[in-house]
Amino acid sequence: MAGALAGGLGSCVGNPFDVLKTRMMAYEGAESRGVGHFASEIYAANGMNGFYKGLQANVMRACVLNATKMGVYDICKTKVKQTGIATEGLFLSFMAAFTAGFFMTVTVSPFDIMRTRLMNQPVDNPMYTGVGDCFSKILATEGPMGFYKGFMPIWGRFAPTTCMQLVIFEQLRKMAGMKAL
């Protein structure tokens, strides 16, 4: 629950930067455009609300991501220790974090797809009215697998990031004299 709450609150603060990043990544022009250009463009078209496009999907994504990360990590560590495959240490932390990265990808991919589409839709002719509409249109036109486009690259990003975060976190706890999670 703590992971979900922290992720949701962080998304509210970070959403304007996500909108800018998504807009900049989708830009296909030959000339280089900076953050200021895109920020001005978003503000001119929608005011401050433009920086909060896709907020619902982003908050849901962050809540699910962080809850999955910490929940799967904890459960996996416990189960692996019970089997005797590994004891407390780097290998156990790595195994649990790698597994958490996979399940994060499974649970977060649908939210990533919806968030990206909501943030990138044109202002003058929006394709979706919100998260629910986006979800139902993707499901109707692309089927359930439409929510898992880019699964491998997402996992390719989550697995190493999650491993580094959680393994380093465990090592820092150990150095501080705290017990492992």
Q: What is the mean pLDDT of the chain?
A: 89
Any domain includes 64: yes
Residue 27 covered by a domain: yes
pLDDT at position 116:
87
Q: Which of 129, 110, 132, 109 is nearest to 121 (CA)?
A: 129
Q: Is-contact 123 50, C-beta < 8 A?
A: yes
pLDDT of 7-41, one tens digit each?
Answer: 778 888 888 998 898 888 888 888 888 899 999 98
pLDDT for the residue numbered 1: 72
Instruction: Compute the C-alpha angle 160/164/165, nearest 5°.
Output: 115
Report the pLDDT value the prediction gives residue 125, as an integer from 0 to 100: 87
Q: Is 78 domain-assigned?
A: yes
As for how many domains the chain has, the answer is 1
Q: What is the pLDDT of residue 143?
A: 96
Q: How far apart are CA 176 and CA 159, in angstroms?
A: 26
Rounded to whole angstroms, how far apart are CA atoms 104 and 61? 10
Average pLDDT over residues 117-141: 90
Closest of 94, 97, 115, 120 to residue 23, by C-alpha:
120
pLDDT, position 103: 96
Query: Residue 180 domain-assigned?
Result: no
How many CB atoms sit inside 10 A of residue 146's CB?
A: 14
Is 181 part of a structural domain of the chain? no
Assigned domain for 132 exists: yes
Two tokens at 92?
Answer: 């156990």
Q: The domain that contains 126 carries what CATH number? A: 1.50.40.10
Residue 170: domain span: 2-175
Output the six-digit token pair for 128: 């979706």
Dist. CA 96–CA 37, nearest whole Å: 42
Q: Does residue 138 fall inside a structural domain?
A: yes
Q: For residue 84, is it within any domain?
A: yes
